[in-house]
Amino acid sequence: MLGVSTYCLHGEPLDSALEKLSGITRMVEVMDEGYHFLADSSVLECYSLHYSIHAPYHGINIASIFETIRRASIEVTLDCFSVAAEIGANVVVHPGYFAWEQERRSARRQFNISLMELSNSADDLSLNFYFENMGGMDYFFLRTPDELDLLGDTGFALDVGHANLNNCLPAFLETTIDHMHLHDNYGRTDSHSPVGDGDIDFKAVMEVLQRSHATPVLEVATFEGVVRSIEALLQIA
């Protein structure tokens, strides 16, 4: 089942976005920010859709070396977990970052604490969560496959656009993938372009999807781009 992120309609209220998306997909990933922030699951329950949720990430840093910021970031993420558990949704989480290279080790320790807390909560709530690989942003964790050992037994969400920015998509496609964000670019900016408006080899991506259990979600910047991407992927399949 090919899902679509509400990111493409982030300028509209969530109920309006869900109404439009329900016309083209049965699987929606809610970007839990802005107009689509989820205080509870009431709006989601009005639609006969399957859901995943992208946890809040602006201003969030679960690897912050400042404990008060790390703790607040965890609390925001756990609020998202609670809503997700109400509707049986999986959650995508960003792994955090450090401001200076010399802080990497301290930030790694903070990430490990957050990972334990998130894992314990997920177990209590019987939900799955996946860490997403990051794009070409300095000091973010999980930009390349050699950092997957950070995650332990936690699931992995491959963002193919982010991997292309770091020139490592083929290597990521050889790993175990639980969830996938699909969008295109030319390896320079995180444009979240429609499939075909970039240089990503989506034939290789679709081959991996067909033999894996990963859930694919289009994370394209515009609704029109989503529609074009669905058509392009159907031609590849």
**Residue 55, pLDDT score:** 98
Rg (CA), the chain: 17
The residue extents of the domains of the chain are 3-236
Amino acid, single-letter form, for residue 207: E
**Residue matched to tokens 């993938």:** 177
The two tokens of residue 193 are 């372009």
CB 82 within 8 A of CB 115: no
Q: What percent of the chain has pLDDT over 70?
A: 100
Q: Is the pLDDT of residue 78 over 80?
A: yes
Give the pLDDT band (50/70/90) at residue 163: very high
**Residue 79, pLDDT score:** 98
CA-CA distances (angstroms) from residue 177 to 16, 154, 193, 213? 31, 11, 22, 8
CB 2 within 8 A of CB 27: yes
CB 87 within 8 A of CB 126: no
What is the spatial distance between Cα 25 and Cα 144, in angstroms, rounded to a whole number? 31
What is the spatial distance between Cα 6 and Cα 18, in angstroms, rounded to a whole number? 8
Q: Is the pLDDT of residue 237 over 80?
A: no
Beta bridge partners of 5: 29
Q: What is the mean pLDDT of residues 147-174?
A: 97
CATH of 3-236, one of 3.20.20.150, 2.10.25.10, 3.40.50.300, 3.90.70.10: 3.20.20.150
What is the spatial distance between Cα 50 and Cα 66, in angstroms, rounded to a whole number? 36
**Residue 2, pLDDT score:** 97
**Residue 28, pLDDT score:** 98
Give the pLDDT band (50/70/90) at residue 148: very high
Give the pLDDT band (50/70/90) at residue 42: very high
CB 63 within 8 A of CB 110: yes
Q: Is the pLDDT of residue 43 over 90?
A: yes
The two tokens of residue 3 are 């899902």
Positive/negative CA dihedral, 23, 190, 193, 180: negative
SS3 label, residue 78: helix
- The secondary element (H helix, E strand) that includes residue 90 is strand 90-93
